[in-house]
Amino acid sequence: MGQAWTPILVWTEPHVTLYGGYDVKKAESFFAHDYIYEWTHEDGKVSKHINGYKLMETSYIGNQMVNDVVSELVAHRDQSPRIVWMGEYASDARWEGATEDDMEEVAVLMRFIHGPFEHSIRRKAVQDAQPPKVWILCPDLGQYIEYDREKEGIAALPLLCAIGNGLGGGDYRGTNMDLVGTWAYRNLVVCDEEPEGWDLTEMFEEE
């Protein structure tokens, strides 16, 4: 059975009160089932179509959910953003470089996805959002990718941030499997120009 995937963007921002300020972590989730398109045919019949919920149904450049995640990543570029693209079967999955603190935070995010408070952090879909062309860097690994919505092909960001790939149908199986999940929950940097001296991450191709 295919597993539904939920990208979650986490960032840190200052919270100021009468008694001083401190940093807090905030999160936005992008639930695949929220991305439902509705249109009316010439005969008046209404049709609905889901944007896709399996990993490879959504992990392509120009997909609306991916566009929304990139747009929000750009909006929070100065707030130490992290992304985890979480499969619903991934509660016990680990990834390279994960610390115990990371695992605890991801476990909390999993409870948000499956628990009664999901609606409190779920982000409303902004359909037809168009992110700018950007380069996304992972400083921990010295790697970067380009996101250009005018191009075609597999979007690397979901696969690089995926936790739980291979646990369900519709997951990614193809080239560079060793790179899947290596960016999960790492700090990311957004640039408006292609960086120099960094390694362009290999692209993905399905088998």
Let me know if residue 159 belongs to a domain.
yes
Q: Are 3 and 170 in contact (CB under 8 A)?
A: yes
Q: How far apart are CA 130 and CA 147, in angstroms?
A: 11
Let me know if residue 207 belongs to a domain.
no
Nearest one of 65, 84, 82, 64 to 73, comparing CA atoms: 82
**pLDDT score at 117:** 34
pLDDT by 10-residue block (mean), the chain, 207 residues: 85 78 81 76 81 89 90 92 87 68 72 45 62 92 92 94 89 94 93 87 86
**pLDDT score at 29:** 84
The parent domain of residue 119 ranges over 5-200
Let me know if residue 15 belongs to a domain.
yes
Let me know if residue 164 belongs to a domain.
yes
Q: How far apart are CA 27 and CA 120, in angstroms?
A: 10
Residue 150 contacts by C-beta under 8 Å, 6 or more apart in sequence? 133
Q: How far apart are CA 57 and CA 99, in angstroms?
A: 30
Let me know if residue 206 belongs to a domain.
no
Q: How far apart are CA 60 and CA 26, in angstroms?
A: 26
Let me know if residue 158 belongs to a domain.
yes
Let me know if residue 76 belongs to a domain.
yes
Residue-wise pLDDT tens digits, 21-75: 778 778 888 887 777 777 788 888 887 777 778 999 999 998 888 998 999 999 9
Strand partners, 122: 29
The total domain count for the chain is 1
pTM of the full predicted structure?
0.81
**pLDDT score at 92:** 60
Q: What angle do CA 52, 54, 57 make, to 5 degrees?
A: 55
Q: How far apart are CA 107 and CA 76, in angstroms?
A: 23
**pLDDT score at 118:** 35
**pLDDT score at 153:** 92
**pLDDT score at 183:** 94
Residue 100 contacts by C-beta under 8 Å, 6 or more apart in sequence? none
Let me know if residue 163 belongs to a domain.
yes
